[in-house]
Amino acid sequence: MDKFIIEGSKKLSGAVKISGSKNASLPIMSAALLTKEDVILKNIPDLKDINTMINLLKHLGCKIKKENDVVTINCSSINSPEAPYELVKTMRASILVLGPLLARLNSAKVSMPGGCAIGVRPVNLHLKAFESMDASISIDEGYIVAKTNKFKGSDIYFDIPTVTGTENVIMAATLASGKTVIKNAAKEPEIVDLANMLNKMGAKIEGSGTSTITVEGVDRLSGVEYTVMNDRIEAGTFMCAALITSSFIKMVNTPVYAMDAIFDKFKEMGGVVDVEDDSAVIVGGETIKPVNIKTSVYPGFPTDMQAQFISVLTLADGVSIVKETIFENRFQHVAELNRMNADIVVSNNQAVINGVKQLKGARVMATDLRASASLVIAALAAAGSTEILRIYHLDRGYEKLEQKLSSLGANIRREKA
């Protein structure tokens, strides 16, 4: 298992290129199951989660070629409609193959994802929606076993706006008979990216990015060439790295259009966001002001940025309050940050952060993807050396993080733990 060693208190400068979005790439790759033709995807980041999706699609029978950031997928013959536990347990987003498999083959067997470090994360809303589209579903030995004669369009209301649930149902509905209307749909930009790709394949999807999405089923989808959007969470993470080190950096390939809530809080904290054009931004700052943050569904402040912003707020001049409303257990970074001299008290879903003058290097443990990123950010500003163990979590979702930070002037290296 690898670890990072970071010598802190170094200023950052220069430019960094933001990669393709992990959370857009995963559903978009899964959508290749809906056609027998070639799906050519550009701007796919080189990440562990992407490799897991590639392995899952290969296991199902798809042929895949990967050259740099271009992944070509052909699912003309699917030999097994089964997503095994070994793959699903390493990546919950594997559930995204359920809708496409059912739509294409009328049957699927996908391991039920378990809980994870950030919460219970059930998939009941995905399953309820598929049932209302005329699938029969049972749970057998830890597997979701689903069958349908053919998906039928349906009116679906999500109790909670679920991101992968909305994506799964959109994909399923593209080949259903008749019209599907999803109400209280999630509005994340990654869903819009998926819908744009599917529409390019011949799907009839309207309203993505709003809370009501309508999908008119079609008989078949064609192959496509599509460039995936850039990663707004990676961009937000580099913004935090700049502000906590009192630095200014330039981010290129930034999905500026999808970052209003992140930019807004960042500016309230004293950060500077200077948008040069639709994808290049100068970000950073010299002082950190305390702020209150409440995570919520898009266009609200993303839960995937909560941990990184908390790291920056540990050095704010005053008290900040951060409320997590999406996941019930997403404060595992707090105990580790407190080991680095932060002063954070968590009660229920709320963290009270009392700003301190200085963070101090320590040995800390990464617990999930975004928690790990928050520890890297804290380490960049801490006095002395920080060792971050279990960075395989980071490799799931940040492309070449240490190379990118090193090129900005950080002192970070990877070693075998």
Which residues are marked as active site? Answer: 116
What is the rounded CA–CA span in Å between residue 394 and residue 407? 18
From 59-67, 145-153, 155-163, 267-275, give the range in contact with ligand EPU by CB under 6 A. 155-163
Residue 156 binds to ligand EPU (criterion: CB under 6 A): no
**351 touches 386 (CB < 8 A):** no
What is the rounded CA–CA span in Å between residue 113 and residue 136? 19
**332 touches 324 (CB < 8 A):** no
What is the rounded CA–CA span in Å between residue 142 and residue 72? 31
Q: Which of 244, 236, 248 is nearest to 282 (CA)?
A: 248
Question: Which CB atom, from 125 or from 288, has the smaller least distance to ligand EPU?
Answer: 125
Question: Which CB atom, from 164 or from 230, has the smaller least distance to ligand EPU?
Answer: 164
For residue 84, list its beta bridge partners: none
Residue 252 CB, shortest distance to ligand EPU, in Å, is 22
Residue 28 CB, shortest distance to ligand EPU, in Å, is 11
Residue type, 150: K
For 381-410, give one letter per residue: b (16+ CB within 10 A) or e. Answer: bbeeebbbbbbebbbbbbbebbebbeebeb
Reported as type and span, the H/E element at residue 169 is helix 163-174
Determine how β-strand 343-347 pairs with β-strand 319-323. Answer: unpaired
What are 291's two structure tokens?
A: 């702020």
Residues 74-113, one symbol each (x = binds ligand EPU by CB under 6 A, - = not), give -------------------x--------------------
Residue 57 CB, shortest distance to ligand EPU, in Å, is 15
Residue 89 CB, shortest distance to ligand EPU, in Å, is 15
> What region, left, alpha or beta, does residue 177 occupy, with left being phi > 0 and alpha being psi -120 to 50 degrees?
beta
Residue 293 binds to ligand EPU (criterion: CB under 6 A): no
Residues 300-339, one symbol each (x = binds ligand EPU by CB under 6 A, - = not), give --xxx---------------------xx------------
Q: At what angle do helices 163-174 and 22-30 cross, to 10 degrees?
A: 30
What is the rounded CA–CA span in Å between residue 169 and residue 274? 38
- Round the CA-based radius of gyration of the chain to a whole number and report it: 21
What is the rounded CA–CA span in Å between residue 306 and residue 395? 19
Residue type, 59: H
Residue 369 CB, shortest distance to ligand EPU, in Å, is 4
From 69-77, 162-170, 347-355, 374-382, give the range in contact with ligand EPU by CB under 6 A. 162-170
Residue 189 binds to ligand EPU (criterion: CB under 6 A): no
What is the rounded CA–CA span in Å between residue 245 and residue 9? 7
Residue 270 binds to ligand EPU (criterion: CB under 6 A): no
From 54-62, 102-110, 161-169, 382-390, give the range in contact with ligand EPU by CB under 6 A. 161-169
Residue 146 binds to ligand EPU (criterion: CB under 6 A): no
Residue 375 binds to ligand EPU (criterion: CB under 6 A): no
Taking CA atoms, 282 is separated from 18, 59, 163, in Å, by 13, 43, 30
Question: Which CB atom, from 125 or from 173, has the smaller least distance to ligand EPU?
Answer: 125
Residue 124 CB, shortest distance to ligand EPU, in Å, is 5
Q: Alpha helices of 245-338 — where are they, by DSSP H?
A: 260-268, 306-313, 332-338
CA-CA-CA-CA torsion sign (78, 81, 85, 91): positive
Q: How many residues bind ligand EPU (CB under 6 A)?
A: 24
List the one residue from 163, 182, 249, 307 that touches ligand EPU (CB under 6 A).
163
User: By CB under 6 A, what part of segment 380-399 binds ligand EPU?
Assistant: 397
Residues 38-77, one symbol each (x = binds ligand EPU by CB under 6 A, - = not), give ----------------------------------------
List the one residue from 164, 237, 245, 320 that touches ligand EPU (CB under 6 A).
164
Which residues form the interface with ligand EPU (CB under 6 A)? 23, 26, 93, 119, 121-126, 160, 162-165, 186, 302-304, 326-327, 369-370, 397
